[in-house]
Amino acid sequence: MSNDFSAPSDTQEHCIGDYVLQYRIGHGACAKVYLAWHVPTGTEHPNITELFEVIATPDVLYLVMEHVREGDLREHLESHGPLSERQARAAFRQVVSALQYCHRRGIAHRDLKPDNILLDEDGTVKLADFGFGRRVSDDSKLSTFCGTFYYMAPEVLRQEPYDGRKADVWSLGVTLYRP
């Protein structure tokens, strides 16, 4: 099969690098998400979606990532209602662990919200979508207005310089309070 294509249909399979695209499973404002198969290479943190490979073609940049089967937290809350206190505590611990891992390595997520918290059938929670992610240092301030309105820290909304890690913590608190 050819590596150059515009977009597979829902039933058509295509090869991209070492992956076979099965079908489209979702989309966002800037991306389409396809189910594909590949031999996993391991992950650095159990609560962060794994990025297997980045494949650049002349027209498209492909991010080949782990598929988390149960979808995102927002969808789960809409279809099943609120989490029990025990479930919320377990999920929150996992997201805090992932966020702490990122922050210790100098990475701010900058778009933490229920849509970017994925759930697997075994109860594992994974932080996803680092599209606005940015390397930060202890003394750096960010100025890019980005994220999702309801989950943004006040300083981001005011378009003031901000600490990306502190803005992430604010967004996490809002996510716990107002999914």
The three-state (H, E, C) secondary structure of 55-78, written as one string:
EECCCCEEEEECCCCCCEHHHHHH
Residue corresponding to tokens 């750096």: 140
Residues 91 and 83 sit within 8 Å (Cβ to Cβ): yes
d(CA 161, CA 30): 25
d(CA 69, CA 50): 13
Query: Of 72, 111, 115, 129, which is the active-site residue?
Result: 111
Annotated active-site residue 111? The verdict is yes
Instruction: List the catalytic residues.
Output: 111
